[in-house]
Amino acid sequence: MLEKSSSPELRSRGWSGTLVRTSRHDGMSTLAERTPNAFEPGPPPSQDGSGPWFRQLTSVQRRVLLAAMLGWMFDSMDFLIYVLAIGRLKAYFDFGDSTAGLLGTLTLLSAAVGGLSFGVIADKIGRVRALNFTILIFSICSLGAATAQSVVQLAIWRTLLGIGMGGEWASGAVLVSETVPAHLRNKATSAMQSTWALGAILAAVLAGVVLDVLPFGDNGWRVLFALGSLPALLTLWMRRSIEEPEIWKQTRGTTAAKTNPYSILFGPEMRKRTLLACLLASLLQFAYWGLFFWLPNLLASPIEKGGAGMSVVKSTWYLVPMQAGAFIGYLSFGPLADRFGRRRVFAGFLTLAAILVPIYGRVVHSPTMLLILSPVLGCVGHAYWSMLAPFLSELFPTSVRASGQGLGYNSGRLLGALAPYVIGVLAALPAIGIVSALGVTSAFYVAAAALIFAFPDRSRAPLD
C-alpha cells in the first residue's frame, strides 16, 4: 500500500517521496520512507523516454537481463527437445502415449519442487548464485538422459532435469524484476519471457536436423539430449559478469530474511494473495501444458487417429511459425499492458486462446489453415506469461520475493504437471481422441481470465 505524505514535518524538510507500508515477519505493518527509484542499481542513462526502452538501462541492468534471457531460452530448449523426440523415444523404448505423458508429468512435478526450493534458496544465498546452480542442473541432467538404457533411467534423468528447469524461472525472473527500474519492468520481463519461444525454435530446428537429416539413426535422440548440456557454459560468464540486486543486498541479514518465508507468505497479511496467486498459476499451467505438450504429437499422429500425419521435419514448418508468433506475443504484452492495463490485456489474450484452441484442432488436416493459424495460436497462447513475473514480484516484499514468486508459479506446476497425463489418457479414448482432449484446456483459459480481476493492479509500482 502506498500513501503520499501529508506530514507537515516531512514537507518542511522538502521531501516529495512516498511512504511505503511494509510487512514485517510478525504480521504487523510499518511505514518507511522511500525516495524515487530507491534501491535501483544506479540511474539509467536516459530518463526522457526517447528511443528504445532498453537504452534506458545501465550496463549492469543489461547484463542481468541478458543472463536471465539466455537462461530461460536454454531452459525452454532442454525441456522441449523431449517433447519433439517423443515419437522416436516411443519407438526405441516401446511405450505408448500414457507413458509419454507420464514422463512429461514427472518432469513438471519435479520442476514444481525445484521452483519451490530455489525460491527459498535464492532468498537466502542470492538470485545470481541460485540461477547458476539451476542452469548447471538441467544441463548436466540432459547429458545424463542421453545415456539412458531404459525408460526408468530416462524418467530419473528427466525428473532431475525438472528441478533445475523449475528453479531457473524462480531465480531469473525475480533477478530481472529487482534490477530494472519500475517503469520498465513490464517491458523487461516481456523480453525475458520471449526467449522461451527462441528456445522452442532452437529445439525444433535441432530436432529436425538431428532426428531426420543427420545419419544418427535410432540413436539420434541421444545426440539431441547431449546438445542440451551446452548451456552449462553460460555459467562461466555469469559468475564473472552478473551482480546481485541492490535491493536484495539491503535486506540480507535482516530479521525477515532469516525467518521461515512460508510463515510470512501464509501469515494473516499475505495468505489471501498467496493462495490466489497459486490458483491463478495452476489454471494457467494446466491450460498451457495440456495444449502445447501435445501439439507436436497432434501434428505427428496418423491421420486416421485425428492427427496430421507429419514427419518431425515437416511439423517443424508449423512449429517454428507458432513459436515466432509466441515471440511476438511475449514482446507485445509489455507495451500493450502499459497502454491498456495489464489485467485487461492478460484476460484478452486468454479469451482469444480459449476460442482458438478448438478451431485449430479441427483444421489440422488443412496445411494452409495450419500455416495461417499456427503463429496466431502461438501469439495468444504464450503472450500472457509475460505478465506473471512482474505481477508476482509486486505481490511480495523483498525478503520473501523469490520464495513467493517460486511458490506462486510452481505450485501451479503441481496441477499443470497432471495435464500431459490427463490429456494423454483422454486422447487414448476412442470416443474422445486428441482433438477433443485438447479442447478441455479452453475451460482453464477462461477461468484464469476471470480470476485476474480478483487482484489489484500494482503495475509499475515500486517494490517493497
383 and 344 inside one domain = yes
> Is there a single domain that holds both residue 450 and residue 376?
yes
Residue 407 shares a structural domain with residue 447:
yes
pLDDT tens digits along 435-445: 788 888 999 99
In whole angstroms, what is the distance from residue 268 CA to residue 278 CA? 16
> Is residue 348 a part of any domain in this protein?
yes
Q: What is the 3-state secondary structure (H, E, C) of 18-70?
A: EEEEEECCCCCEEEEEECCCCCCCCCCCCCCCCCCHHHHCCHHHHHHHHHHHH
Give the pLDDT score at 308.
Answer: 59
Q: Name the least confident of 71-75, 115-119, 271-275, 351-355.
A: 115-119
Strand partners, 336: none
Angle, alpha carbons 78-350-406 (nearest 5°): 50
Q: Which residues, in sequence order, are CB contacts of 117 under 8 Å at separation 6+?
A: 163, 167, 406
- Model confidence at 2: pLDDT above 60: no
Query: CA 25, 29, 32 angle in degrees (round to 5)?
Result: 105
Do 9 and 97 fall into the same domain?
A: no
What's the number of domains the chain is made of?
A: 2
Amino acid 130: pLDDT = 92
* pLDDT tens digits, 42-84: 444 444 555 688 888 999 999 999 999 999 999 989 888 888 8
pLDDT band at 451 (very low <50, low <70, confident <90, very high): very high
- Residue 6 shares a structural domain with residue 120: no
Query: Is there a single domain that holds both residue 132 and residue 80?
Result: yes
Q: Considering the domain boundaries, does residue 367 fall inside one? A: yes
16 lies in the same domain as 73: no
Residue 217 lies in a domain: yes
CATH at 288: 1.20.1250.20
Distance CA 187, CA 332 (A): 8
Provide the pLDDT for residue 304: 61
pLDDT averaged over the chain? 81
pTM exceeds 0.75 for this model? no
Q: Which residue type does 406 have?
A: G
223 within a domain of the structure (yes/no): yes
Residue 175 shares a structural domain with residue 205: yes
Residue 41 lies in a domain: no
Residue 85 domain-assigned (yes or no): yes
In-domain check, residue 42: no
pLDDT of residue 65: 93
Q: Are residues 113 and 15 both part of a single domain?
A: no
- Residue 313, domain member (yes or no): yes
Q: Is residue 131 domain-shared with residue 29, that is, in the same domain? A: no
Expressed as residue numbers, the domain containing 422 is 53-454
Same domain, residue pair 60 and 16: no
Contacts of 223 (CB under 8 A, 6+ apart): 146, 210, 214, 216
User: Rounded mean pLDDT of 127-131?
Assistant: 91
**Residue 157 and residue 61 in one domain:** yes
